[in-house]
Amino acid sequence: MQKFDALIIGSGIGGLECAYILAKRGMRVCVVEKNPALGGCLQSFKRGEDEFDTGFHYVGALGKGEILERLFSYFGLMELPWHQLDREGFDEVFLKDKSYLLSNGHTAFAERLSSYFPDRSNEIKRYSAFLKEVGAKITDPVLKEGNGLSSVNELFSRNAYNFLRESVGEGTALDVISGTSLKLELNRPTLPLYTFAQINNSFVQSAWRLRGRGSMITDTLAKSIEKMGGVIMKGWQAVEIKEDGGVCSFVEVCRLNTNERLFADYIISDLTPQTTLKLLKESGSVRKIFRRRINNLEQTYGFFTLNLRLKKERVPYVNRNRYYYTPELNSVWDVKDESAKGRVCGLLITQQVPNEGEKFATYMDILTPMSYAEVEKWGDSCVGHRGEEYKEFKERKAEECLRLAERIIPHLRESVERCYTSTPLTYRDYIGAPEGTAYGIRKDCNSIEKTLLAPKSPLKNLFFTGQNLNLHGILGTSLTSLLTCSQILGRESVVRFLK
């Protein structure tokens, strides 16, 4: 019988950070991960000699004293080879055949945007000041009393699109401000202002890539956990969480034909809440109404991704991300609905940082939102066995993405050595993300009581963590890991370094 102080299910960044925090406080922790590779969305994958990232392209707020830098210093991740994107233009938005750069620093950000839209200069300055103000409150959910999330309720219940329309006015300025936001789902009726403002603010502060793969983040965390005596069980899937009188008594894990029971005082689930509830097969404490509420939550969209290995010295490395939208698109806020109709109308184009001194890119990723409905008919298949029709579907999508990307990178197709593609089904099967969602549950400003989840579960010693709570993304999940661990260790002891 194996007994731990804390058992963490899932080795996404959120799960590993929880394990790190608890191990650092002297607890004996164990992380179980169903895949042979750690990291969930942050895992890298190999195709021959090529290695690509799954769900990591860039992070914000990693400059000295900024929030992610403070968190990553604590987690021992600042030693990694971080590479800052161009401060003059960390992101570039292509709209109706014009291009717009977004600069780092709130003043430079506002000045650059004002140069494109001089008649909106005052509104843009006010918007930038608003971002700064909201950003200063990013630690409130962790630092403040109560369930930790009540302090963000007001911003959470405001609609992001309505706010932008009222503060900067409709039109191109609004679209440029929103145009780097394929890193969140722009859904007009539901997107909370909190999500929009916190994520965008972190990138306005500073923007960074890694010189290397995103899996360096989770591998570094895993090594530190093991050094502190933690156990990491790769290739073990949690198949049941057993309850006894309102507490979890053990978690049953399975590898090939071997089952084991793991006992722990505390269980943290880094899985989606839906998956966690499925594991709680027979529980007297989880009321039907709670199950229904969780199971009815909608998922944000997934991505169709092209991972490109480029020919040698053909495509210059560009130290920024490029967001391209087709000229026919009315507004970037229509991308989600247009994608749901099967159209490719918005691309995120990003490159891996080359070796020091090299001017050309070797690897490039192109992402476009894709709804699960487009691939649902292959939903019963598994990786590598989806058939010819699926292959042809992916080839057509890839072709469309390349055709559009060539509008800003001429002759890209001729520069591609190898091309690999993935759809929401790939993400579903590798990461266990329902419908291959990229950013987890769709938070809804009209329904915060249903969609803003707290770490507490109906069981006394079971807690949730990961991107489905509070904010998604690497910054969001890192903050949430503190919020989750504060339920076990007490707020004061977890967040001392944040003050």
Ligand X SMILES: Cc1cc2nc3c(=O)[nH]c(=O)nc-3n(C[C@H](O)[C@H](O)[C@H](O)COP(=O)(O)OP(=O)(O)OC[C@H]3O[C@@H](n4cnc5c(N)ncnc54)[C@H](O)[C@@H]3O)c2cc1C
The answer to whether 369 contacts ligand X (rule: CB under 6 A) is no
Q: Which residue in 59, 193, 204, 419 binds ligand X (CB under 6 A)?
A: 59
Least distance CB 69 / ligand X (angstroms): 14
Place of tokens 């003059």: 88
The answer to whether 155 contacts ligand X (rule: CB under 6 A) is no
- Burial (0-12, 13-18, 19+ Cβ within 10 Å), 199: buried
Q: Which residue in 4, 6, 8, 12 binds ligand X (CB under 6 A)?
A: 12
Least distance CB 307 / ligand X (angstroms): 11
Site string for ligand X, 324-343 (x = CB under 6 A): --------------------
- The alpha-helical segments, DSSP class H, found in 232-387 are 273-279, 288-295, 335-340
CA distance 418 to 349: 16
Q: Which residue in 303, 304, 333, 372 binds ligand X (CB under 6 A)?
A: 303
Least distance CB 430 / ligand X (angstroms): 7
Smaller CB distance to ligand X: residue 57 or 413? 57
The one-character DSSP state at 220 is H
| CB of 251 closer than 8 Å to CB of 267 | yes
| CB of 15 closer than 8 Å to CB of 75 | no
The answer to whether 255 contacts ligand X (rule: CB under 6 A) is no
Q: How far is CA 298 from the centre of its chain?
A: 16
Query: Distances in Å between the alpha carbon of 245 and those of 181, 248, 454?
Result: 45, 8, 22
Site residues (CB under 6 A) for ligand X, limited to 123-142: none
Place of tokens 């039109």: 171
The answer to whether 438 contacts ligand X (rule: CB under 6 A) is yes
Q: How many residues does the chain have?
A: 499
The answer to whether 55 contacts ligand X (rule: CB under 6 A) is yes
Q: Which stretch binds ligand X (CB under 6 A): 72-80, 136-144, 372-380, 432-440?
A: 432-440
| CB of 161 closer than 8 Å to CB of 333 | yes
Site residues (CB under 6 A) for ligand X, limited to 60-99: none
The answer to whether 104 contacts ligand X (rule: CB under 6 A) is no
Q: What is the DSSP secondary-structure string of 269-302?
A: E-S-HHHHHHH--S-SSS-HHHHHHHHTPPBPPE
- Closest by CA position to 113, among listed 97, 134, 127, 132: 127
The sign one gets for the Cα dihedral 224, 229, 235, 241 is negative
Q: Which residue in 2, 35, 172, 381 binds ligand X (CB under 6 A)?
A: 35
| CB of 475 closer than 8 Å to CB of 280 | no
The answer to whether 346 contacts ligand X (rule: CB under 6 A) is no
Least distance CB 111 / ligand X (angstroms): 26
Q: Which stretch binds ligand X (CB under 6 A): 52-60, 132-140, 149-157, 324-332?
A: 52-60
Site residues (CB under 6 A) for ligand X, limited to 447-486: 466-467, 472-474, 477
Q: Which residue in 23, 32, 248, 489 binds ligand X (CB under 6 A)?
A: 32
Angle, CA of 442, 446 and 448, to the nearest 5°: 65
Q: Which stretch binds ligand X (CB under 6 A): 373-381, 382-390, 424-432, 490-498?
A: 424-432
Q: Which stretch binds ligand X (CB under 6 A): 31-39, 107-115, 405-413, 490-498?
A: 31-39
CA distance 434 to 455: 19
Q: Which residue in 20, 56, 325, 363 binds ligand X (CB under 6 A)?
A: 56
User: Site for ligand X (CB under 6 A): how many residues?
Assistant: 37
The answer to whether 40 contacts ligand X (rule: CB under 6 A) is yes
DSSP, collapsed to helix, strand or coil, labels residue 51 as: strand
Smaller CB distance to ligand X: residue 69 or 270? 270
Smaller CB distance to ligand X: residue 173 or 308? 308
The answer to whether 431 contacts ligand X (rule: CB under 6 A) is yes
Least distance CB 414 / ligand X (angstroms): 26
Q: Which residue in 6, 29, 41, 71 binds ligand X (CB under 6 A)?
A: 41
Q: Where do contacts with ligand X occur on this chain (CB under 6 A)?
A: 9-15, 32-35, 40-42, 55-59, 183, 237-238, 270-271, 275, 303, 427, 431-433, 438, 466-467, 472-474, 477
